[in-house]
Amino acid sequence: MSYVDEVLEVVQKKNADQPEFLQAVTEVLDSLRPVIDANEELYRKNAILERITEPDRQFIFRVPWVDDKGQVQVNRGFRVQFNNAIGPYKGGLRLHPSVNLGIIKFLGFEQIFKNSLTTLPIGGGKGGSDFDPKGKSDREIMAFCQSFMTELSKYIGADVDVPAGDIGTGAREIGFMFGQYKRIRGTFEGVLTGKGLTYGGSLARTEATGYGLLYLTQEMLKCHGQSMEGKTVCVSGAGNVAIYAIQKAHQMGAKVVTCSDSTGWIYDPEGIDVELLKEIKEVKRARLTEYAAARKSAEYHEKKNGEHGVWSVKCDIALPCATQNELDIEDAKMLVANGVIAVCEGANMPTTLDATKYLQQNKVMFVGGKAANAGGVATSALEMSQNSERLSWTFEEVDSKLQDIMITIYHNIDDAAKRYGVEGDYVAGANIAGFEKVVVAMLAQGVC
Ligand code: NDP
């Protein structure tokens, strides 16, 4: 049995109740086969795969807080510190009822390779809670965030582990958590990224993931003799990543005709009005029904199981920016039948494994989230640099560094795929390029 298959068998046995984690490990190790086969003896002797699939440590803790009725509520908090071979652990905090250890582990595992790809010195980690911020008052959000950070603060630090935002954790939550960390530890340090601009945040961080997705997509199209200009684009999601992906796609001359949230989706043949979407999602925190109510050209469709949603709309480029496993094999078939040329993931693992394979087999340019959405964490690392320097860079400086990073990432994954004989397979290219750097560091640092 090959080394990869042996390790996959062990990982499956040890983590049988964590389907998302198993999916991520299988996808990564499968695509690393060419590198692992070429170095099997060295990696096997040093147990590289066993070590890289087992987190350094994982914390699970109780988060008690008091709701507006005076009732004590209890949630479960998580932080998984996966691998710090190339820098302090770095990865977001997800607040969503679906959060469990398996989801946090899948995200933390993927983060190792993504962070390595950014070219910056950051390791992989992830955290969060099954707390649902929807419908909570500001006071309840603060009570939860303070309690969550009271425990989390024991395990993190500016040179140890630097969490950030993710689904459900935006500027408001980061602010409450930062305040509590400062209060408990008595130190003002860059322990979280995604901070407000008046206390150490970076300009362009809000836009970074969506903008970065488009910088990489544009570079890939350019290398294939195409551009974003005049393209029709389908985006899913209506959160941070989706909004700024739509904005940048429009700036590049494309037309984005869809977006979605957890209850429904919008088709707007005239192009999504980003300012209206921002007002509804960032300010009012309302449903997409309000978008349709305010805009004549838009159709609202209630989400229904078994239907293709945004992926049923004919487009040249699809950018899934909502959540994991939101684009399945049936959606992929629909996209291919409609002539899609590129799918780039703004979200983490939005495309199922069989859908990814189908798109690749049908010659669709496909870039996975590890590379395509790395702009967010890259800019978080730029926020860490600014905090260490105690300086703030201009929007243009950060944005231009982000562009350079995303263009470099595209070329690195393209080169890695070519080096191992899988040209055009950007999923393999991303995993290989990210993995190589981490493994060199792990080998240099001995058994740890
Ligand atoms: P947000 O919470 O800002 O937005 C998520 C959006 O997706 C919301 O509009 C939400 O709808 C929608 N959504 C959630 N579940 C579903 C579903 N089942 N079907 C359709 N829509 C759904 O999160 P972000 O934009 O920050 O993150 C989106 C994805 O990008 C996640 O996978 C995240 O891990 C990833 N990511 C984010 C980065 C960042 O910098 N923010 C960086 C890298 C990756 P609703 O409004 O109803 O909640």
Same domain, yes or no: 224 and 367: yes
What is the identity of the amino acid at 107? Answer: L
Same domain, yes or no: 45 and 61: no
Same domain, yes or no: 324 and 241: yes
CA distance 419 to 417: 6
Same domain, yes or no: 142 and 79: yes
CB 227 within 8 A of CB 301: no
From the CB of residue 418, how many other CB atoms can be counted at a distance below 10 Å?
Answer: 13
Q: Report CA(343)–ligand 1 centroid distance (Å).
A: 17
Same domain, yes or no: 48 and 59: no
Same domain, yes or no: 92 and 178: yes
Q: Is 76 exposed, middle or buried (0-12, 13-18, 19+ CB in 10 A)?
A: middle
Q: Report CA(346)–ligand 1 centroid distance (Å).
A: 9
CATH number of the domain within which 243 lies: 3.40.50.720
* Final residue of a structural domain among 192, 223, 248: 192
Tell me, yes or no, whether 133 lies in a domain: yes
In order of 167, 189, 196, 295, 346, the CA distances from 383 in angstroms are 19, 12, 11, 37, 20
Same domain, yes or no: 8 and 115: no
Tell me, yes or no, whether 434 lies in a domain: no
* Final residue of a structural domain among 13, 39, 54: 54
CA distance 24 to 432: 14
Q: What is the pTM of this model?
A: 0.93
From the CB of residue 135, how many other CB atoms can be counted at a distance below 10 Å?
Answer: 7
Tell me, yes or no, whether 173 lies in a domain: yes
For the CA of 350, the closest atom of ligand 1 is: 32
CB 254 within 8 A of CB 340: no
For the CA of 241, the closest atom of ligand 1 is: 25
Tell me, yes or no, whether 435 lies in a domain: no
Tell me, yes or no, whether 438 lies in a domain: no
129 lines ligand 1 (CB under 6 A): no
CA neighbor of 231 nearest in space, from 341, 349, 358, 93:
341
Q: What residues make up the domain containing 126?
A: 55-192
Same domain, yes or no: 162 and 237: no
Tell me, yes or no, whether 431 lies in a domain: no
CATH number of the domain within which 61 lies: 3.40.50.10860
CA neighbor of 123 nearest in space, from 93, 89, 72:
89
CA distance 86 to 139: 38
Q: What does the pLDDT profile of the chain (448 residues) look like in tens digits?
A: 899 999 999 999 999 999 999 999 999 999 999 999 999 999 999 999 999 999 999 999 999 999 999 999 999 999 999 999 999 999 999 999 999 999 999 999 999 999 999 999 999 999 999 999 999 999 999 999 999 999 999 999 999 999 999 999 999 999 999 999 999 999 999 999 999 999 999 999 999 999 999 999 999 999 999 999 999 999 999 999 999 999 999 999 999 999 999 999 999 999 999 999 999 999 999 999 999 999 999 999 999 988 889 999 999 999 999 998 999 999 999 999 999 999 999 998 899 989 999 999 999 999 999 999 999 999 999 999 999 999 999 999 999 999 999 999 999 999 999 999 999 999 999 999 999 999 999 999 999 9
Write down the catalytic residue from 90, 105, 114, 126: 126
Tell me, yes or no, whether 404 lies in a domain: no
Mention every residue, 6+ apart, whose C-beta is less than 8 A from residue 45: none
Same domain, yes or no: 329 and 361: yes
240 lines ligand 1 (CB under 6 A): yes
Same domain, yes or no: 167 and 78: yes
**Computed over its alpha carbons, how large is the radius of gyration of the chain?**
21
Tell me, yes or no, whether 363 lies in a domain: yes
What is the identity of the amino acid at 104? Answer: I
In order of 260, 293, 294, 372, the CA distances from 287 in angstroms are 10, 11, 12, 27
Instruction: Please tell me the total count of domains within the chain.
Output: 3
Hey, which of 209, 278, 285, 382 would you mutate to test ligand 1's pocket, going by the most ligand atoms within 8 Å of its Cβ?
Answer: 209
CB 61 within 8 A of CB 77: yes
Same domain, yes or no: 159 and 213: no
Q: Does the active-site annotation cover 126?
A: yes
Same domain, yes or no: 152 and 93: yes
312 lines ligand 1 (CB under 6 A): no
Hey, which of 93, 195, 262, 287 would you mutate to test ligand 1's pocket, going by the most ligand atoms within 8 Å of its Cβ?
Answer: 262
CA distance 246 to 319: 9
Q: What is the pLDDT of residues 130-153, one digit of tens each?
A: 999 999 999 999 999 999 999 999
* Final residue of a structural domain among 354, 372, 390: 372
